[in-house]
Structure 1
Amino acid sequence: MNFVLITIVTLSVFVLVKSQNAYTGKYDNIDVDKILANGRILSNYIKCMMDEGPCTNEGRELKKTLPDALANGCNKCNERQKAAAEKVIRHLIKNKNNDWKRLTNKYDPNGQYRKKYENQYKSQA
């Protein structure tokens, strides 16, 4: 009986810790390709991130998690979030470099993470 209780408590703690070490997955089904292909929608997301316009719920969540995700290499991201982040970064570096610079100036003012991401994704472009 004690073994079962200990096992349940251990699993509960593991699930709680795991959930605190991950970002929400409720926006994982967003079509990132569609956003990147639509200049108006992409511009609205960038304005949200730059505090220059209103934010959707997804934009607010992204804005909230972005500093942490940059700092820790997206290690709290699930695989779908990592793939989306890589796609967005590659797109911004290649096609929207001015917006990339504005975003990194705001969210990485010391350039601590910018070089890592630029080197990583420019070599994959």
Structure 2
Amino acid sequence: MASLSLCAIVVMSLAICSAMPNPQDAGQQAEKPGQAPATYTNKYDNFDVDKVLNNGRILTSYIKCLMEEGPCTNEGRELIKYLPDALKTNCIKCTKVQKDTSEKVLKFMMSNRSADFERLSAKYDPTGEYKKNLLKLEKERDEQLKKQTQ
């Protein structure tokens, strides 16, 4: 049920799909000067998330970055910078690949690194506001899938 909750935390957790609005990287033009593109950059869409998930040392480094307890890569810093927008908009600017990858990482984090998942949630969604919105969207999606299979 909570597989899509806080999808932006997953996005930022692994620096998979840097949320840096960059029209040149994403191949999209902003509608007006200074306006963000319709989606975040896709330059990390081919990132091998399994290598990170299966390497505790690397995963821990990303988590420490996001918790501001350790150094960050450039991508990690970009993600932290743009995370508020991703959370506020329920990851609406994420590409399909980014959403699918986010769901995969969330499931892994909740099953295998639940304490870290809770720490990230407490930092980036302390009131649970974004989680509620995402759970509502997930419930609607599940209902649509049920209707399609009937």
- Are positions 1:47 and 2:61 aligned together? no
Q: CA deviation at 1:118?
A: 6.8
The count of residues paired between Structure 1 and Structure 2 equals: 109
Is residue 2:30 matched to residue 1:16? yes
The aligned residue for residue 131 of structure 2 is 114
Alignment CA distance shift 1:118-1:100 (3 Å): farther
1:36/1:44 CA distance change after superposition, 3 Å: same
Between stretches 62-71 and 87-96, larger displacement belongs to 62-71
Aligned to 2:44: 27
Output the TM-score relative to the length of structure 1: 0.74
| Kept in 2: contact 1:50–1:103 (CA 8 A) | yes
1:15 positional shift: 3.4
Unaligned ranges ≥5, structure 2: 1-27, 143-150
Residue 104 of structure 1: which of 111, 121, 125 is its match? Answer: 121
Distance 1:116 1:42, change over 3 A: farther
- Supply the distance in 1 between the matched residues of 2:30 and 2:49 (Cα, whole angstroms): 29
Uncovered stretches (5+) of structure 1, i.e. residues with no partner: 1-13
CA RMSD, aligned part only?
Answer: 2.5
What is the CA-CA distance between 1:60 and the residue it aligns to?
1.6
Matched with 1:71 is 88
Partner of 1:84 in structure 2? 101
Q: Which moved more, 1:95-104 or 1:107-116?
A: 107-116
- Deviation of 1:115 (Å): 4.7
Q: Max radius of gyration: which structure?
A: 1
1:57 aligns with 2:84: no
